[in-house]
């Protein structure tokens, strides 16, 4: 079998960012600079790294970013008050609450406190429902990144059988809906699914989003399957056993350098779109 197509997230991300720079230049001429605010509760080292990466990405394309650090002892009520203040700030176009938050905080309540117009990470219940029904909302960034890579590499998915391994509300479930809306036949599975190996052997496309290192084995795959690994575990390891999957796949994402860079690019895109939407709304008010 020939070498699989390497789905290069860095290349896709660069293409998106190049487009965004032009959109940002137009906004700046109108006196608007897209601004993303990230809230980090606690001192999770990985979360600090992710927040810094997002801030750096904003700076590189001319966006503004702000990081709000809250102590681990922060209550749900205090976090909600912070979100409310940002919702009311006209200079802020996107709000991102870094996951995970400390266990004593009601994360779902906090996510849902973000106004839909600023939910650029697609984490609210309203946003999830709107995405599922193909209404106007910003999609979750990692699922959107997966779909962006499928489009960039012109991977046919209509009528194909896809399995999504993972059921999180910000990854597995929304990407399942997105694939379904694009006429794929979708099986939603997870780490407790019985006979998962047999299910994976039947499908054309595998989305691994289970949060377990090297969980998906190459021997599970149908010959020529497409593998999109959305996992990122300690040691830069994905949810797929890359080497064995590489030998069976027709196309595969690396980890790192696959879905991850595109996820950040989608966050930037959503924030720029939110800023453009704000300008449009302001123009309508003037008229």
Supply the pLDDT for residue 64. 97
Matching fold, domains 30-117 and 141-259: yes
285 counts as catalytic: no
Quote the DSSP letter at residue 219. Answer: G
Catalytic residue status for 173: no
Question: Residue 287: its pLDDT value, please?
Answer: 52
pLDDT at 46: 84
Domains of the chain: which residue ranges? 30-117, 141-259
Q: Which of 112, 121, 229, 241 is catalytic?
A: 121
Query: For position 44, what pLDDT does the model report?
Result: 86
Q: Is 202 exposed, middle or buried (0-12, 13-18, 19+ CB in 10 A)?
A: exposed
Q: Which of 8, 17, 35, 54 is catalytic?
A: 54
The answer to whether residue 237 scores a pLDDT higher than 80 is: yes
What would the mean pLDDT of 56-63 be, rounded to a whole number? 96
Q: Which pTM value belongs to this model?
A: 0.95
Q: Which of these is catalytic: 35, 98, 241, 248? A: 98
pLDDT in tens, 190-200: 989 999 999 99
pLDDT digits (tens, 9 = 90+) for 108-122: 999 999 999 999 999
CATH fold for the domain made of 30-117: Rossmann fold (3.40.50)
Q: What's the pLDDT score for residue 285?
A: 67
Average per-residue pLDDT for the chain: 95
CATH superfamily of 141-259: NAD(P)-binding Rossmann-like Domain (3.40.50.720)
- Whether 54 sits among the annotated catalytic residues: the reply is yes
37 Cβ contact partners less than 8 Å away, ≥ 6 residues apart: 65, 66, 67, 68, 86, 92, 94, 95, 96
pLDDT above 70 (res 251): yes
Judge whether residue 286 has pLDDT over 80: no
């Amino acid at each position: 079998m020939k070498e699989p197509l390497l789905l290069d997230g860095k290349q896709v991300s660069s293409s998106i960012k190049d487009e965004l720079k032009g959109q940002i230049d137009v906004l700046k001429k109108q006196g608007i600079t897209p601004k993303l605010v990230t809230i980090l509760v606690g001192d999770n080292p990985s979360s600090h790294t992710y927040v810094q990466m997002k801030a750096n990405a904003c700076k590189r394309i001319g966006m503004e970013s702000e990081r709000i650090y809250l102590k681990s002892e922060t209550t749900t009520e205090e976090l909600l008050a912070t979100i409310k203040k940002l919702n009311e700030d006209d200079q802020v176009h996107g709000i991102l609450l870094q996951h995970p938050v400390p266990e004593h905080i009601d994360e779902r309540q906090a996510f849902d406190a973000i106004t839909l117009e600023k939910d650029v990470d697609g984490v609210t219940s309203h946003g999830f429902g709107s995405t599922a029904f193909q209404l106007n909302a910003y999609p979750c960034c990692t699922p959107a990144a997966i779909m962006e890579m499928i489009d960039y590499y012109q991977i046919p998915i209509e009528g194909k059988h896809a399995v999504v391994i993972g059921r999180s509300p910000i990854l597995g479930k929304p990407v399942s809906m997105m694939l379904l809306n694009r006429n794929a036949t979708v099986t939603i599975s997870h780490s407790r699914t019985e006979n998962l190996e047999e299910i994976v052997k039947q499908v054309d496309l595998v989305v691994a989003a289970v949060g377990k290192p090297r969980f998906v084995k190459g021997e599970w795959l149908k010959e020529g399957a497409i593998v999109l690994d959305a996992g990122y575990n300690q040691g830069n390891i994905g949810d797929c056993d890359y080497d064995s999957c590489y030998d069976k796949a027709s196309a595969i994402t690396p980890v790192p350098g696959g879905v991850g860079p595109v996820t950040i690019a989608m966050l930037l895109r959503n924030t720029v779109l939110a800023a453009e939407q704000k300008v449009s709304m302001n123009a309508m008010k003037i008229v």
